[in-house]
Amino acid sequence: MPVSVNWTTRNISTSVDFGDLRSRVQESFEDLSNALAVLSDLQQMVVSNVLRSDGNANPGTMTLVDTSSASVTVTLPLAALNDGAVIILKKTSSDGNTMTAEAHPTESVNGTASTTAANGSLTLIASAAEQQWMWVS
């Protein structure tokens, strides 16, 4: 049974249900805990993973792609070996050059060999069953 307190101040009557208040605080704490867990996951995505020298992207990472000198092609790992993995490619320069996500020769990106973006980012999810990377955004 929730504990309630009633009091009157300056002709204003207020009732506080401490059981409801406790429930709200607990829900807020759970929301905060979930947000911190998501933040922790994002930190593990290794935002500092600036494109590897071999031009490959690592599953579970955000790869920062600088196209200020020329267009850049990033080779994706085998989707068949990385089912459900996410790769985010983020273009860091604002120029006319493109960044391209290229699948392994035996796989595809949404049914084609590659996908290209002139601005913004590409988010890709691996599907082992379909042996392809699916472009999400």
Predicted structure pTM score: 0.59
Report pLDDT digits (tens) over 55-95.
Answer: 677 777 788 888 888 898 888 989 999 888 888 888 888 89
**CA 68, 70, 72: angle at the middle one, nearest 5?**
100
Look at residue 67 and give its three-state secondary structure. Answer: coil
> Residue 93: which residues within 8 A CB-CB, separation 6 or more?
66, 67, 68
Q: What pLDDT score does 54 carry?
A: 53
Report pLDDT digits (tens) over 24-53.
Answer: 777 877 877 777 777 666 554 444 344 554
Q: Are 78 and 66 in contact (CB under 8 A)?
A: no
Q: What pLDDT score does 14 carry?
A: 57
CATH number assigned to the domain covering 46-135: 2.60.120.640
SS3 content of the chain, % helix, strand, coil (to 5): 20, 35, 40
Report pLDDT digits (tens) over 100-137.
Answer: 999 999 999 999 999 988 888 889 999 999 999 998 86
Q: Are 100 and 124 in contact (CB under 8 A)?
A: no
Q: Are 97 and 67 in contact (CB under 8 A)?
A: yes
Q: Which two tokens stand for residue 59?
A: 């599953």
Q: What pLDDT score does 49 carry?
A: 45
Closest CA to 74 of 84, 85, 60, 88: 88
- Give bridge partners of residue 4 from the DSSP assignment: 17
Q: State the Cα–Cα distance between residues 7 and 12, nearest whole angstrom.
A: 8
